Amino acid sequence: MAKNITPRSNDYSQWYLDIIKEAQLAEHSPVRGCMVIKPTGYALWENMRDVLDKMFKDTGHQNAYFPLFIPKSFLSKEAQHVEGFAKECAVITHSRLINSENGVDVDPDSKLEEELIVRPTSETIIWDTYRNWVQSHRDLPILINQWANVVRWEMRTRLFLRTMEFLWQEGHTAHATEEEAIAETKQMLEVYRTFAEDYMAMPVITGVKTESERFAGALETYCIEALMQDGKALQAGTSHFLGQNFAKAFDVKFQDKDNTLKYVWATSWGVSTRLIGGLIMTHSDDDGLVLPPKIAPTQVVIVPIWKTDEEQQAVTNYAHDLVDELKKAGIRVKFDGRDQYKPGWKFAQYEVEGVPVRIAVGPRDVQNGKVEIARRDTKTKQIAERASVLEIIHELLTDIQYQLFQTAKSRMENMTSVATSYDEFKRILDEKGGFIYAHWDGTAETEARIKEETKATIRCIPLNQTPEEGTCIYSGNPSKGKVLFARAY
């Protein structure tokens, strides 16, 4: 157990914050609720972004950039949207500062005619723009994604999971038909599922949100839900079928092949730096961060060990040769030859930072043509022939990626229960936590009461659920199938 990291069993929330601090991922900023993403954390986000960006482009999307600011009046154009979103946000009212005795003050003469809102999400400004881009069916579909920062004035923040400003991508697509927009919504959900499972090694349940949990302005919100080690769920990504709501609010019509004017169909979908919080809470342990090789900024670190200058020269040459070989094979490898830190300190630091594989090279290894290879997840070590290192590393990275997913998946399965009564439901929640499948009568009232009484919410109506007649655990009324409950972040 690493010093400076609180064990999960003592205080899970503190463990989470300790991991972020010790792995140097992020820290609180002097601006309440905003975070500073440190180089190690940002490198992780860059890798995640690059993989997602390629997946978006491979499915036909292009990136664009829309303004940070939204005129206040835009927010009230889509009635449901403003209900759900517009309330807690950063409002710009002035455009100038003036010198004062205290330093600077806001110039009262610079008051704006119409206030601007820092985007909490960009549907309104984008659909106002799409109006000019769409005349004919030939202009559709529009398949656009934006990488951006957004701001939501959250009162209770937690690094990565919920911050006032966060980084995300938001896809905004426009289609000629309802079917095509729904297909897009589902396609992007599948992109998110693939990314979460195949790259982050984080198993997820795919489903649709209930009406109460739906995105403000959407007809249907699809989501991926992950389960953290403490048994709480995390909404990790959402894909919204927006119907014609925004097209109607912003008057976006097109002339169809049949020469009639029709409103455009819309989707939007997003994932954010919140994913980093999910990643931490899926794999990490009491010794620090554990990263899946596919998105780890550094996959292999090489730490040299020496006493004399002569030894330093020998191990450095030996290691550089290995670095070259691994780099050529496309492995993200780092050599840490700094002499102000001891090998033991480096071992501990890379363990905390979650580097999947560590190679140590000492003078005897050089003589014998060997290296020591240690894996972060299981902490097992092996002595390997120099000639076999590349092959072993390839196998290890593949195996670590696979095992992290399997471990997380088994944990999720073990922490998934079925409750047949409300008492059982509450007992499971308190004793075990995790996902709970239970019958629900389909009403917002029951959903709200369960939430009020237990803090558990319906995470989703799972997509792969087979319809099944039953009785609501709360009201005793008829149910058409089990839904997925959990307490959530």
Contact stretch for its own copies (CB under 8 A) within 9-17, 147-155, 281-289, 477-485: 147-155
Look up residue 11 and give its amino acid.
Answer: D
Using CB under 8 A as the binding rule, whether residue 63 contacts its own copies is answered as: yes
**Cis-peptide into 141, omega within 30 deg:** yes
Strand partners, 159: none
- Binding its own copies (rule: CB under 8 A), the pick from 4, 13, 67, 449 is 67
Q: Which residue stretch of 109-117, 203-211, 390-398, 470-478 sits at the interface with its own copies (rule: CB under 8 A)?
A: 109-117
- Cross-strand bridge partners of residue 70: 117
Residue from 2, 34, 183, 392 touching its own copies (CB under 8 A): that is 34
Which of 395, 220, 191 shows the shortest CA–CA distance to 293?
A: 395
Q: Does 72 bind its own copies (CB under 8 A)?
A: yes
Region binding its own copies by CB under 8 A among candidate stretches 12-20, 98-106, 211-219, 399-407? 98-106
**Which member of 13, 54, 60, 65 binds its own copies (CB under 8 A)?**
65
- Sequence-separated (6 or more) residues with CB below 8 Å from residue 334: 298, 300, 301, 302, 355
Residue list 148-167, contact with its own copies (CB under 8 A): 148-149, 151, 153, 165, 167
The answer for residues whose C-beta is within 8 angstroms of residue 361's C-beta and 6 or more apart is 302, 303, 304, 305, 315, 318, 319, 322, 371, 372
110 counts as binding its own copies under rule CB under 8 A? yes
In whole angstroms, the minimum distance from the beta carbon of 161 to its own copies comes to 16
467 interacts with its own copies by CB under 8 A: no
Cα 417 to Cα 135, 162, 425, 460, 466, distances in angstroms: 51, 27, 9, 15, 17
Q: Does 60 bind its own copies (CB under 8 A)?
A: no
Q: Minimum distance between the CB of residue 171 and its own copies, rounded to whole angstroms?
A: 13
Closest distance of CB 165 from its own copies, Å: 5
Q: Encoding tokens for residue 363?
A: 């003078």
135 belongs to the binding site for its own copies (CB under 8 A) = no
Report the nearest approach of its own copies to the CB of residue 25 (Å).
Answer: 11
How many residues bind to its own copies according to rule CB under 8 A? 69
Shortest Cβ 206–its own copies spacing (Å): 29
For its own copies, which is the closer residue by CB, 186 or 320?
320
Give the DSSP letter string of 330-383.
T--EEE---SSS-HHHHHHHHHHHT-SEEEEE-HHHHHHTEEEEEETTT--EEE
Which helix or strand (DSSP H or E) is residue 482 part of? strand 482-487
β 300-304/333-335 pair status: parallel
Q: Which is nearer to its own copies, 274 or 487 (CB)?
A: 274
Q: Quote the radius of gyration of the chain (alpha carbons, Å).
A: 26
The least CB distance from residue 157 to its own copies, in Å, is 12
Examine residue 97 and tell whether it contacts its own copies (CB under 8 A).
yes
Q: Which residues contact 325 (CB under 8 A, 6 or more apart)?
A: 389, 390
According to CB under 8 A, which residues from 324 to 383 bind its own copies?
340
**In terms of C-beta density within 10 A (0-12 exposed, 13-18 middle, 19 or more buried), how is residue 154 classed?**
middle
User: Which residues make up the interface to its own copies (CB under 8 A)?
Assistant: 27, 29-31, 34-39, 41-43, 45-46, 62-77, 82, 86-99, 102-106, 110, 115-118, 125, 128-129, 132, 138, 144, 148-149, 151, 153, 165, 167, 340
